[in-house]
Chains A and B, each alone.
Chain A
Amino acid sequence: MHQHLIELIRFSTYAELRAERERSYLGLIWWVAEPAMMMGAFWLVFDLILKTGGPDYVPFLLVGLTLWQWMKSCITHGGYSIWGNLGLIRQVRIPVLVFPLVQIFADTIKFLYIFALLLVILWLAGFPPNITYLALPVVFVVTLLFSAGGGFLMSAVIPLIPDLRFVIEQILTMVMFLSGVVFALDAVPPPLRDWFALNPVVTLLDATRGILMHGQWPDWIALLKVTLVSLVILAIGVGVVLRLAPRYPKLAA
């Protein structure tokens, strides 16, 4: 049973990535082209037009968007997964946690490819590998826990309230702007800045940028706090999915 589930998750993840490649004309190129176009837009507005970018704005933006894209994909794709598979859930007996998990794994594999490319770009741009790279796996594991928690939580609720789909994209866009993905939080006035720092996304982005761009070790205390928050969100997310699981087969797709 256990082995079978692992096979199911593994093959479904492969199928998801494979289907995504076949679905569009340019296939995998979009994995890179989409974030690149987004980056271009922000660079145009914040650096070229408003001149608020600051030094090293392009690598700053690249790291921020790459990481954010991963988190956002896990939350939205994971979030839509149970809702999108209601037809399947009514036909076969599969633990529903499989569906968000597959999406989160697929998005993580995608991220790792994009991240490899990002590293090459950073090295070429004059940010060489350094000893603090050793902390990257830790930061990424925490990021994954946090995103998976968000994904599970969304996946549990969206089948019951599909209208949330229209809200979640807007909320995530807002979170992106509030998390220093596109501009440094140094620009935020000091009293507000303390509030901003409570946001787990800020901690994760700061840690990653510190490592990749400045050879700085992460703020371990802050990272530990984010880990705890992430574990709580994850536990709630998984708990709600399991709690609501008997209701999904009764929902109309």
Chain B
Amino acid sequence: MDQPLIELEHVGVAFSAQRRVGSGKFWALEDVSLSLRQGERLGIIGRNGAGKSTLLRVIAGILAPDRGRMRRGTLSCQLLSLSVGFTPYLSGRDNAILSGLMIGLRQRDIVARLPAIKAFSELGDFFEQPIATYSSGMLMRLGFSVAIQAEPDVLLIDEVLSVGDAEFQEKSGSALRERMRQGHTVVLVSHDETQVSTLCDRLLWVEHGKSVCEGNRDEVFAAYHHGLAVSTAAS
């Protein structure tokens, strides 16, 4: 409980600016530090292009830091992403299994959950049809129904709290909030401040690839709003 699950110290990630030999680098993340403990729900806030999504991919283990240090135990972190690995000519069922495997589930676990996935996605008989025949709404419903099955030690969420039409938005949003309430460790990136403030207890504010402050939700929100007001007044 006391030992952080994940710790980042002055982490930076550089991308090459163009697909050319010898082209310059740009640092999407420059200097970010954070620590995440068991059961915490950490929100990451900041403006567009601040590096929030890149940071999430570093925590997920997809991107390796180019500088700084990251410490994490042997735990699974999964970025909640919709329709991972979906293949157009396969049935909804096969795609659900494929996608489930890609997000780290064992085959027997996904197969056991197929009835639940089918029911949640409301696809009915279409579940056995190739997903090339699906409407975009059906595709999103299937994608979400599979994605929500992931059971990592740390769940990482990037602004996909609800998808589909109004009714399914409600359903998917509440399913996800339910997951977050079950005591999982969660890192959430969102622009929606009310969402962040209802779902997270700690916040990290990221600006221009640097962590500005990390701590209690209300304190960080206050500092963030103050900072926004100052920068708006200055410009």
Contact = CB atoms under 8 A, between A and B. Distances in A.
Given A7-B106, A15-B98, A250 B84 contact: no
Interface of A: 3-4, 7-8, 11-12, 15, 18-19, 22-23, 88-94, 246, 249-252
B216 interface: no
Contacts of B103: 92
Given A89-B62, A249-B63, 13 more contacts: A11-B98, A11-B101, A15-B87, A15-B94, A15-B98, A88-B84, A90-B62, A92-B81, A92-B103, A93-B77, A246-B63, A249-B62, A250-B63
A89 B107 CA distance: 20
Contact of B102 (A19, A23, A94): A94
B94 A18 contact: yes
Give the 5 A-B CB pairs with smallest separation, nearest first: A22-B89, A19-B89, A7-B107, A8-B101, A91-B81
A92 B89 contact: no
B90 interface: yes
Interface of B is mostly: loop
A19 B81 contact: no
Interface of B: 15-16, 19, 57, 60-64, 77-79, 81, 84-85, 87-90, 94, 97-98, 101-104, 106-107, 130
Contacts, number: 64
A22 B16 contact: no
Contact of A11 (B15, B77, B97): B97
B102 A92 contact: yes
A89 B16 CA distance: 17
Nearest to A12: B98
Contacts of B79: 91-92
Contact of A3 (B15, B97, B106): B106
B107 to A, nearest CB: 4
Contacts of B106: 3-4, 7
B84 A91 contact: yes
Nearest to B19: A252
A26 to B, nearest CB: 14
Contacts of A91: 62, 79, 81, 84
